[in-house]
A and B are shown apart, each in its own frame.
Chain A
Amino acid sequence: MGIAEESSMKTTRFTPSKLNLVLLLLALVAPFVLYPVFLMKVLCFALFACAFNLLLGFAGLLSFGHAVFLGTGGYVTGYLMINTGITPELGILAGTLAAGLVGALYGKLAVRREGIYFAMVTLALAQLAFFFYLQAPFTGGEDGLQGVPRGHLFGFIDLANNLQMYFFVLAIFLFGFWLIQRTVHSPFGQVLKAIRENEPRAISLGYNVNDYKWVAFIISAGLAGLAGSTKTLVFQLASLTDVHWHMSGEVVLMTLVGGMGTLFGPLVGAAAIVTIQNYLSGGELGNYIHIIMGAIFVVCVLAFRNGIVGQFRKVLKQNF
């Protein structure tokens, strides 16, 4: 990744590869210090937020229905793990593909609209899916799919062991994160950025911009599905919470708090929000969780519009 930055990155000069290495080392030792299930939750939401950020930050498209893809991945993986003897990696693959497929359909409809209308179409389609999952016979309705077995990875690594599960989730996250970085720094990513920067001009250069948005939408939906599938295995549960519009809002929150359009922003945002939620839900303040999250959101949007990572960069730039 480091070589790519020379022409396109104008931000701080502390080499990304070094930062990556430090983060990777932290991720490798973390499960020996912190509770692995908590870390896995952070990783799943971080992947979800990164996928969402690909669309918002790099294609300039605000989807307000991304929970559908998270939930679809989760339900499909959950259903297959319970009802067929399939191994977890295949279960996750199936969930991811299913989310990508729904993304292809929804994206096709949504990218024809712009701005707020795009957001409205994604929200409407997501609500449709929510009611479908509420009624459908295979989702367990209000109860969801419980007791999803984690199974044996490749048939022989027992994922019931939290530590082994953690490294599996970490590998999935790294793959997703890498794919997003690659997409952003690919020939396709260049066109996507051009469209975000000046859509009429991109059209006048002969680009069918809707096709590019569509492909970005599918990648984003697929990766959101990957996050959902993984999350279902971690918690052994697929439920309506994951397809609810609250979840669609939460991912917006994570991305904006962390810093949209930055590589690490969604990761930081997801970690921050999940940590706060975990902390609050255990304590006295549990009842006020939504109010507190709302307040954090307002403060972030008003005080540092570029999110935590954006703000961090600015400070670095000013002081070094």
Chain B
Amino acid sequence: MTQDLILETKNLIKAFKGFTAVDDVNLQIERGSIHALIGPNGAGKTTVFNLLTKYLAPTSGCLLFNGKDITALPSASIARLGIVRSFQISAVFPNLSVLENVRVALQRKEGNSFHFWKHERVLNRLNDKAMQLLDDVGLTGFAHSKTLDLPYGRKRALEIATTLALDPELMLLDEPTQGMGHEDVDVVANLIKRVSAGRTILMVEHNLHVVSKLADRITVLQRGAILTEGDYASVSADPRVREAYLGVSDDEPVAPVVQPAGPHSIDVAAGAGA
């Protein structure tokens, strides 16, 4: 059976001064799927994202998007093709209003982004669309707040709304639920499920509860290399995954991964109980 691949990497390698952070990775992302990239801290997940979006140039290997080689393109061009990423550390425009954050994404396709002689009120025609996107992530009430003042979880939701504003064909989410309370985690997980219709999502996610609920396919990364791939059942049953990634012996139940220290670890623990 031939697969319909939206994104493919071939022998992707990234070395930082002798340290190989991404080691010969061949990823295949099927169109329309939710694909999770998991692995312990420092496994190279974010580096893979940086390579896919050209925030870092690969040491060797190539990227194919819809069968076309995009290895040589700069980041902004890749985004314009329809691969839009979010960041592990929430990436918002802090001194713009919440509405403006989404609007600046919508604005790109308007073709007026260089119009310095026009009044910004021409952007108001995007407000309805922006409000709709904010509504989708439960931020309607915050539309006119300064983004700086949003609680962390809300900033992550805003980031997703901003990404969605571009209607990307392939969405790359780097730990979208990190730092959220468990009610918010469920909200975001449901949101991701909902917006996955008609698009492909590649996500890094530490919360295995979310992964099990969402992912059609999982790639496990360890020390820069792919350890194994498959659906949740087969991956979580793999003793090498349990050993190397989960750090548990065979008879323990699958539990969420050890989180990087931070205020969010408690939330995730709470999420695990659900």
B79, B114, B117: the one contacting A203 at CB < 8 Å is B79
Closest CB of chain B to A95's CB: distance in Å? 21
Q: What residues on A are CB-neighbors of B194 within 8 Å? A: none
Smallest CB separation, A312 vs chain B (Å): 19
B123 to chain A: closest residue by CB: A187
**Are A189 and B120 interface neighbours, CB within 8 A?**
yes
* B91: A residues at CB distance < 8 A: 198, 200-201, 204
How does the 8 Å CB contact mask read for B42-63 relative to A, with 1 for contact and 0 for none? 0000000000010100000000
B8: interface (CB < 8 Å): no
| B119 and A182 contacting across the interface, CB-CB below 8 Å | yes
- Name A10's closest neighbour in chain B (CB-CB): B146
Interface size on A, residues (CB 8 A): 33
Most chain-B Cβ atoms within 10 A of its Cβ — which of A182, A189, A201, A205?
A205
Q: Mark out the residues of chain B between 84 and 126 whose CB falls within 8 Å of any chain A CB in the assembled complex.
A: 84-87, 91-97, 99-100, 103-105, 107-108, 110, 112-123
Min CB distance, B169 to chain A, in Å?
12
Q: Are A7 and B108 in contact (CB under 8 A)?
A: no
Is B144 an interface residue, CB under 8 A from the partner?
yes
Task: Say if the beta carbon of B26 comes within 8 Å of chain A.
Answer: no
Q: How many Å lie between the Cα of A242 and that of B84 in the bound state? A: 46
Q: What's the minimum C-beta distance from B167 to chain A, rounded to whole angstroms?
A: 12
Interface string of A206-226 (1 = CB under 8 A from B): 111101100100010000000
Chain A residues with Cβ below 8 Å from B110 are 187
Residues of A within 8 A of B115 (CB): 186-188
Q: Say whether A285 faces chain B, with CB atoms less than 8 Å apart.
A: no
The residue in chain A whose Cβ has the minimal distance to the Cβ of B147 is A197
Q: Hey, which chain B residues are within 8 Å of A206, CB to CB? A: 76-77, 79-80, 84, 108, 166
Q: Which of B75, B77, B87, B107 contacts A191 (CB 8 A)?
A: B107
* A186 contact set on B, CB distance < 8 A: 115-120
Whether A182 lies near B96 (C-beta < 8 A) is no
Name A1-27 residues within 8 Å CB distance of B. 3-4, 7-8, 10
Known: A193-B95, A204-B85. A215 touches B116 (CB 8 A): yes
Given contacts A7-B99, A200-B91, A206-B108, contact A182 B117 (CB under 8 A): yes
In the bound complex, what is the Cα–Cα distance between A46 and B83 (angstroms)?
44
Task: Name, among B53, B76, B77, B117, the residue most crowded by chain A CB atoms within 10 Å (CB to CB).
Answer: B76
> Which residue of the partner chain B has the closest CB to A193?
B96
* Interface membership of B162, Cβ < 8 A: yes
B86 surroundings in chain A (CB, below 8 A) = 204
Interface string of A173-187 (1 = CB under 8 A from B): 000000100110111
Known A200-B55, A204-B84: A187·B112 in contact at CB below 8 Å: yes
- B121 x A4 contact (CB < 8 A): yes
Q: How far is B112's CA from A10's CA once the two chains are assembled, in angstroms?
A: 25
Measured CA separation A182–B122 after assembly (Å): 12
Which chain B residues border A215 with CB–CB below 8 Å? 114, 116
How many angstroms between the C-alpha atoms of A189 and B116 in the bound complex? Answer: 7
CA distance A7 to B100 in the complex (A): 9
Query: Nearest 9 pairs between A and B by C-beta?
Result: A206-B79, A188-B116, A197-B93, A201-B91, A183-B116, A206-B80, A187-B112, A208-B76, A194-B104
Q: List 27 A-B contacts (CB under 8 A).
A: A3-B121, A8-B100, A182-B118, A182-B119, A183-B116, A185-B119, A187-B115, A189-B120, A190-B96, A190-B103, A190-B123, A193-B95, A194-B93, A197-B94, A198-B92, A200-B55, A201-B87, A201-B91, A203-B55, A203-B79, A204-B79, A204-B87, A206-B79, A208-B76, A209-B76, A215-B114, A215-B116
17 new A-B contacts at CB < 8 Å, known A185-B120, A190-B120, A206-B108: A8-B97, A186-B115, A187-B107, A187-B114, A187-B116, A188-B113, A190-B96, A190-B103, A194-B104, A201-B93, A203-B55, A203-B79, A204-B87, A206-B77, A206-B166, A208-B74, A212-B113
